[in-house]
Chains A and B, each alone.
Chain A
Amino acid sequence: MLRLLKPKPIPSGHHLIQRCAVSGTAKGKAKIKAGQALKRSRITTKKPGSESKPGGPTGSREKQERERLYEQCLQAPTPLRYLTQKQREREAEREKLGLISKERQREIDMMKKKNEKYKVSEKPTIIGTPGLDYVSLGLVDVEKLPKYELTVEDGRRLAKEYSRVLMRKHRARQAAESTLLRLKKEAIEALPEGLREAALVPDLSPFPVNRFMATLTPPIQGYIDQVREAANKISGMEKIRMLPRKKPVILFVSTLEWDCYLQFACME
């Protein structure tokens, strides 16, 4: 039985406007430049004219402080701007003409500032909390580290070496693990009949909960007792002591190594 297809409704005039390939909508004509503040991200505080502030001038000062903080966070600068090659050339040409864009001006001001935070770090930096990072704990031989600049070519060279080293280790570990499995199979086959079936039964009893996981530093004897007695003594107060201030830098956890190590330590 043939069914007549319903004719598709022609969208009125929409097919004449340029369509976005993905969403099927008309593309926005107002292009937003890179780095320009999106309109949504401005905090619009509606000041109703009839309301009077209770605190008077102090209230508005606090509010100003907060507004200033928000502004600083939303317009937070980066030491190096990410520009494409075309943009870079254009900026160079504009500078020859004497025109300097706002961002470029900001960059120049930042470079003149003394604060180290705003500059690109020249020396190798500490990653993570100052006391507990790999270098100060002696986990890395600082002398054996290769020298490098912060350029793309050096980055590529380092990446190739890194990949080579890790792949070598991975292959060695895979070979060792397959040897282990092979030895285990041979051992099971070498058992006499009755014992062999008993050995082939998988042991599904749960792993011990308190199996110790390797950590960065060895456990300190009596630390947990110190914590407990301090907590009991000062149970009224909010906090005992502040930890040394840590900036929320992205913590350096080499997940690749950690996964391999995890596999390695818990393998049968």
Chain B
Amino acid sequence: MKMSLVRPLLTRRRFSTSSENLVASVLFERLPVVIPKIDPMVYAFQEFSFRWRQQYQRRYPDEFLDKSDARGKGDYQIDYVPAPRITEADKSNDRRSLQRALDRRLYLLLYGNAYGAPGGKPVWHFPEKVYESEDTMRKCAESALESVLGDLSGTYFVGNAPMAHMVVRPTEDQSVSTSFKRFFFKSQVIAKNEFNIGKCEDFVWVTKDEMMEYFPQQSEFLNKMIIS
């Protein structure tokens, strides 16, 4: 059977893939905490329409408007100073903290021994695990994340299906002889501010642009897989 592996993303295999190795890796993301910046054109138009409408709005007497200030019992709020959108982690560029880049998504990257890394040296990779006869690939991915984080209380796996895959062909200096498929599963951070990341030498939380520094060869694949 001819293997037509013209591009790493095409899979036109004719034989059964039972002898292949499958790796489940997890794209662990933290959703944005603050709304993103507004385009000046959008804001200008909305300001214009607000002022235009206000020209024709009726002006009511002040004592009438003050009647809405009466508050019922049990409706407590304290005056507060809004927290700044650019945190100290932003200024110090501390990539290990989750408080950085609050208006973008952050993804977890580990530095350690990955499956299929060239020469067995530590590289930057997503949390992953080789598939070994579990029920589904999603369970494999969950156990991968569990081994890194300790427990899955702060995570939510989105759906049973993988979100993308890549076929990794072996080169000469790699530790693995056959090519294997890496499936990505999406999971999101739920209601947790910090994690204890174990089982690796180093970890970072990066935005999409910074991730391109860590994976220069796969930039177009990552551009397709991650929107922002």
- Which A residues are closer than 8 A to B by beta carbons? 69, 72-73, 76-80, 82, 117-118, 120-121, 124-125, 127, 131-132, 134, 137-141, 144-146, 148, 150, 154-155, 158-159, 161-162, 165-166, 173, 176-177, 179-180, 183-184, 186-192, 195, 198-203, 207-208, 210-212, 214-220, 223, 226-227, 230-231, 238-248, 250, 252, 254, 257, 261, 264-265, 268
Contact = CB atoms under 8 A, between A and B. Distances in A.
Interface of B: 9, 11, 16-18, 20, 22, 31-61, 63-66, 68-69, 71, 73, 75-80, 82-85, 87, 102-103, 135-138, 156, 158-165, 167, 181, 183-184, 186, 188, 190-191, 224-225, 227
23 contacts: A73-B61, A121-B51, A124-B47, A125-B51, A125-B54, A127-B50, A131-B82, A148-B44, A165-B41, A176-B227, A179-B224, A180-B163, A184-B161, A201-B160, A203-B160, A208-B191, A210-B191, A211-B188, A217-B82, A219-B33, A230-B78, A254-B42, A257-B38
Contacts of A214: 31-35, 103
Chain B, interface SS category: loop
B80 A78 contact: no
Contact of A141 (B35, B40, B162, B163): B40
A77 B42 contact: no
Contacts of B9: 186
A223 B80 contact: yes
A150 B48 contact: yes
Contacts of A210: 190-191
B125 to A, nearest CB: 18
Given A69-B63, A187-B163, A199 B76 contact: no
Contact of B61 (A69, A179, A254): A69
Contacts, number: 249
Contacts of B49: 155
Contact of B190 (A162, A208, A252): A208
B39 to A, nearest CB: 6
Contact of B55 (A150, A220, A239): A150
B50 A250 contact: yes
Given A134-B43, A186-B11, A180 B60 contact: no
Contacts of A141: 37, 40
Contacts of B66: 245
B44 A158 contact: yes
A252 B43 CA distance: 10
Contacts of B47: 124-125, 127, 145
B64 A69 contact: yes
Contacts of A212: 31, 33, 190-191
Contacts of B64: 69, 72-73
Contacts of B41: 146, 158, 161-162, 165
B47 to A, nearest CB: 6
Contact of B85 (A200, A207, A217): A217
B7 to A, nearest CB: 12
A9 B224 CA distance: 73
